Structures are given as C-alpha cells and as structure tokens.
C-alpha cells in the first residue's frame, strides 16, 4: 500500500503534496528501524516469528485503519512509521521461516516465485487501488485495504501449520509454493 497517495495528503490531511514524500520517507525509516530492532532483539523475534507472520496482517490492518481515518499529519507520520516497523518484522520472519523450511535446492525457486508474485501483486494492486481512490474516494480505498489485510490474516491463520518452525515439515512450504 502506498501510504503517500496525493489524494490522501490533499483531501484527507489537507496538506501540501510534499507530505507525500514525508509519509513515504517515514515509512521506509520505519522499515529500517524494524530491521535494526530485529537485529537487536533477534532471539525474541526468532522465538515469535510465527506470531509476526500470523498476526502481522491484523496489526497492519489496524494501523492502516488508523492511518486512513486520521486527519492529522503528525499522526499520519507516526502510523506510517509503525506500519513500516510491523511490515519489516513480518517480512523478516517470513523470509526466515521460508529459509528454514524449504529444501536448500528449492530456495532459489521459492524466492524467485515469491519475488514475481510480490512484484505483480504490488503493481496490479497499486493500479487497482488508485482507480478505486479516484472513483470511490480515498477513505473507501483504505477501508478496502483494511478488509484485504484482515482476509490475508485470516488465511494465514487458517493455514498456520505451514508457518510453524518444525523440522518435520521441511519441504512442505516448498510444495505449497511450487
């Protein structure tokens, strides 16, 4: 989700277009902070990686709802940073689980498929959400995003057995992805 959509800063926050850059910069700063916190607390993150993958989408849904409904620039910056931190934790944990559970010879394929799916999904969703924001308004697009994050979290939760870190399931993720 592109947090700095010009409609959002203009129509929702009633701020100048430069805030688009501020919001995106703070998001990426949040990702850097999330990465640094993951390094600093790596043992805790590793112990709780299934939690981050399963409940990350729900946390992101809540932050997206807060972000999408605020009319204050400072709060939008805070929510954007928080989104970046949570997203980074989720991504790090997801990558770790994939690396631990996929067969070594399948890792290049797993990551290639994951990269293609992520890129295509991001491109299509950006185009679609921009259209939705144009036609139905920026708030509706945020509500739709929140709904999609909840669906994503629900699917992850329902399929939680593939996210557990058990050696006995080695290769199961590979079979699921490929």
Q: List, as own/partner pairs, every contact residues 57-62 make where C-beta atoms lie below 8 angstroms and the sequence separation is at least 24, other chains included.
A: 57/90, 57/149, 57/150, 57/152, 57/153, 57/156, 58/149, 58/150, 58/153, 59/86, 60/86, 60/87, 60/90, 60/149, 61/145, 61/146, 61/149, 61/150, 61/153
pLDDT in tens, the chain (178 residues): 444 456 788 888 999 989 989 999 999 999 999 999 999 998 888 888 888 888 889 999 999 999 999 999 999 999 999 999 999 998 898 888 888 888 889 888 988 998 999 999 999 999 999 899 889 988 899 999 999 999 999 998 888 877 665 543 555 554 544 4
CATH architecture entry for 6-177: Up-down Bundle (1.20)
Closest CA to 45 of 85, 1, 104, 101: 85
| All structural domains of the chain with their residue ranges | 6-177
Predicted model pTM: 0.81
Q: What is the pLDDT of residue 10?
A: 85
Q: What is the pLDDT of residue 170?
A: 52
């Amino acid at each position: 989700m592109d947090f700095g959509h010009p409609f959002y800063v203009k129509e929702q926050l009633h701020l100048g277009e430069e805030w688009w850059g501020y919001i995106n910069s703070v998001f990426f700063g949040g990702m850097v902070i999330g990465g640094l916190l993951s390094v600093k607390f790596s043992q805790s993150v590793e112990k709780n990686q299934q939690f981050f993958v399963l409940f990350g989408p729900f946390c992101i849904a809540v932050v997206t709802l807060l972000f999408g409904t605020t009319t204050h620039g400072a709060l939008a910056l805070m929510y954007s940073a928080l989104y970046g931190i949570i997203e980074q934790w989720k991504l790090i944990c997801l990558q770790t689980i994939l690396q631990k559970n996929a067969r070594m010879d399948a890792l290049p394929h797993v990551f290639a498929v994951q990269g293609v799916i992520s890129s295509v999904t991001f491109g299509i969703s950006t185009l679609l959400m921009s259209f939705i924001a144009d036609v139905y308004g920026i708030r509706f697009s945020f509500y739709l995003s929140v709904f999609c994050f909840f669906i994503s979290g629900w699917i992850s939760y329902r399929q939680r057995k593939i996210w557990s870190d058990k050696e006995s399931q080695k290769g199961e993720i590979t079979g699921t992805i490929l």
